[in-house]
Amino acid sequence: MNPAENAESVRSALVTGASTGIGAATARALAEQGWRVFAVARRTERLQELAEQSGVIPITADITEDAQLAKLLTEVTEAGGIDTLINIAGGARGADKLAESKAQDWDWMYRVNVLGTMKLIQAFLPMLRAGRRGTVLNLTSTAALVAYEGGSGYNAAKFAERALTQALRLEEVEHNLRVIEVLPGMVRTEEFALNRLGGDQQAAAKVYRGVAEPLSADDVADVVRYAVTLPHHVNLDEIVLRPVAQAAAHKVIREP
């Protein structure tokens, strides 16, 4: 199936990071609107649960591994292709100041947030160009806008992913490729803070303590869904969203 022909009938998206959090919520939100969704993540069991609940097409893959990425491209191509690529996979490791930061944390963050996104876009660009109505949406973070203490590694990775996104928009406009960046602030999900803080439940809970209504995965997924379902000539270049209680990275209202 030609991706352009597919776009005329059923929209089709690939969503990474779909085993949990914002990725799972995004895959579910699009499927509910009738999209054909390829849900991609490393954890097969979670993907299968999502598929049973929502009807998405689960594909287990690590987007940082070249062989698995090639297999993913083949599977999606043989299944009819996509017109929309949504890069949600990413995350943070560690909250140390630069002087104490660990190289392995930086390596993981750069590999997943930047290189994984870059490799996935490279793999699917020919397909998205061919349809002439392709969309790439990258989920970055407000950490890509302002650096903060204890965030140097995550800031560096998200600043790089943001730069990648901006360059892509300039380079691919001649192919009518729509490039969108969504930059969430504080989002409470089951794993983000927990993974960042090495599985420390108390430390993870403290991140959100006293904040009446941090964003949820569904909040962000709804914004992503809206951005990619607008008419193709409408490009929301950048969407920054935060809970009202978070006026800026350094100013968060916490109730007693």
pLDDT band at 253 (very low <50, low <70, confident <90, very high): very high
> How far apart are alpha carbons 233 and 132 in whole angstroms?
11
pLDDT digits (tens, 9 = 90+) for 225-242: 999 999 999 999 999 999
Angstrom distances, CA of residue 140 to CA of 2, 68, 99, 112, 156: 30, 23, 25, 12, 11
Q: Spell out the domains of the chain, with CATH numbers in brackets.
A: 3-252 (3.40.50.720)
pLDDT digits (tens, 9 = 90+) for 104-124: 999 999 999 999 999 999 999
Task: Decide if 154 is catalytic.
Answer: yes
DSSP class of residue 132 equals S
Long-range contacts of range 53-60, CB-CB < 8 Å, 24 or more positions apart? 53/28, 54/27, 54/28, 55/31, 56/15, 56/18, 56/27, 56/28, 56/31, 58/18
Question: Of 54, 44, 129, which Cα lies nearest the Cα of 85?
Answer: 129
pLDDT of 256: 85
**Which is catalytic among the residues 110, 148, 154, 208?**
154
> How far apart are alpha carbons 144 and 162 in whole angstroms?
6
pLDDT of 6: 42
Q: In sequence order, what are the residues at sequence separation of 6 or more whose Cβ sits closer than 8 angstroms to the Cβ of residue 105?
A: 93, 94, 96, 153
pLDDT digits (tens, 9 = 90+) for 125-155: 999 999 999 999 999 999 999 999 999 999 9
Whether the per-residue pLDDT at 74 is higher than 50: the answer is yes
| pTM of the predicted structure, to 2 decimals | 0.94
pLDDT band at 190 (very low <50, low <70, confident <90, very high): confident
pLDDT digits (tens, 9 = 90+) for 193-231: 888 889 988 988 999 999 999 999 999 999 999 999 999
pLDDT of 71: 98
